[in-house]
Amino acid sequence: MDLSTDLAPLNVGLIGYGIAGAVFHAPLISTTPGLRLAAVVTSDPARREQAARNHPQAALLPDADALWAAAPELGLDLVVVASPNRTHIPLATAALEAGLPVVVDKPLAATSAEAEKLAALAAERGLLLSVFQNRRWDGDFRTVRQLVASGRLGRVNRFESRFERWRPALSGAWRELGDPAEAGGLLFDLGSHLVDQALQLFGPATRVYAELDARRTGAATDDDSFVALTHADGTRSHLWMSATAGDLGPRFRVLGSRGAYVTHGLDGQEDALRRGRTPADPDWGVLPRERWGSLRAGDTVEPVATLPGAYQDYYAGLVRALHGHGPVPVGADDAIEALRVLEAAQRSARDGAAVTL
């Protein structure tokens, strides 16, 4: 059965129309067969105008209470929370209490305890709870995953992964606020992706060491950070995230017993979405040959075609899960495990010592 054609589309209510909502969720929802963007919630007048232009079929609502009230009329089947991190738990809780499955942008919560409580509520209500970890569908990460699984690298000894940027001045965004309830800073922003990817590749972490620094003038949260994980299988993951890197290191450097895989530059899907492109466009997610990574063993260098990026696969998997035809693409348990690692990183940086999990 083709779920995208044989069943009526699922109606989605999107809360938040900042970068997460406007750039990522709304375009992906709108171009996923089997989904319909039924409502957008934003109180910002400029964002309301933008949403009206880009998604004229969607109802525009001022707040979440209006969404809950309109849910029966809209026939809502799913709520997506793409608002600031501090609102994730209260909004997701309200959605579940309204009887609606929910997707929450990463990080799921500011603490693992909050995430566990939310997951328990979803289980009690028998409702889907998923976390938007789109970077699992980056083309370069998909390529690393294939190479590791195929054994071409041999036994992986060290996995190096970086999200580095050159943004030497503060922007004033909420992610730079120091209140722990905001779950701001690079550890919870970019680190949520880096830790999730490492855990997906090599399984649970047993030891965490971290250095979390606020380098920029006036910075209240970490903006130049390093996290080292020791996985249960013995692999070590070294993860860098920085807004102060004037020279960017390799995106991935994976060192194995049979050779290494190295690639530079970021997956292009975010930039494409910012330019107004969507997965419905030809050649979506395809990286040009000159940007491919390579397998390396001493003087031997072999280019490796980067698999196409596929952010659309997250929401396609969600459609299948909501119809009972597949697993949840990113479950709450994965997010809770990653949050425990992020919390251990905070303790390690505070105490100056590694933390055993």
> What confidence tier does 178 reach under pLDDT thresholds 50, 70, 90?
confident
Residues comprising the chain, all counted: 357
Q: Say what the pTM is.
A: 0.95
pLDDT at 195: 98
CB atoms within 10 A of CB 52: 12
Domains in the chain and their CATH numbers?
3-134+314-330 (3.40.50.720), 135-310+340-356 (3.30.360.10)
Nearest to 54 by CA among 43, 65, 46: 46
Q: Distance between CA atoms of 123 and 218, rounded to whole angstroms?
A: 42
Cis amide leading into 107 (omega within 30): yes
Nearest to 117 by CA among 336, 329, 268, 265: 336
- Give 210-240 pLDDT, tens digit per residue: 999 999 999 999 999 999 999 999 999 999 9
pLDDT at 86: 96
pLDDT at 173: 86
Is the pLDDT at 5 greater than 80, yes or no? no
Nearest to 104 by CA among 183, 169, 33, 31: 183
Is the pLDDT at 3 greater than 70, yes or no? no
Nearest to 144 by CA among 251, 301, 258: 251
Query: Which letter does DSSP use for residue 282 in this model?
Result: T
Q: What is the mean pLDDT of residues 315-322?
A: 98
Q: What is the mean pLDDT of residues 331-345?
A: 98
- Give 51-64 pLDDT, tens digit per residue: 999 999 999 999 99
Q: Which two tokens stand for residue 195?
A: 């830790």
Is the pLDDT at 288 greater than 70, yes or no? yes
Q: Distance between CA atoms of 95 and 89, rounded to whole angstroms?
A: 10
Q: What is the mean pLDDT of residues 124-129?
A: 98
- Give 7-57 pLDDT, tens digit per residue: 899 999 999 999 999 999 999 999 999 999 999 999 999 999 999 999 999
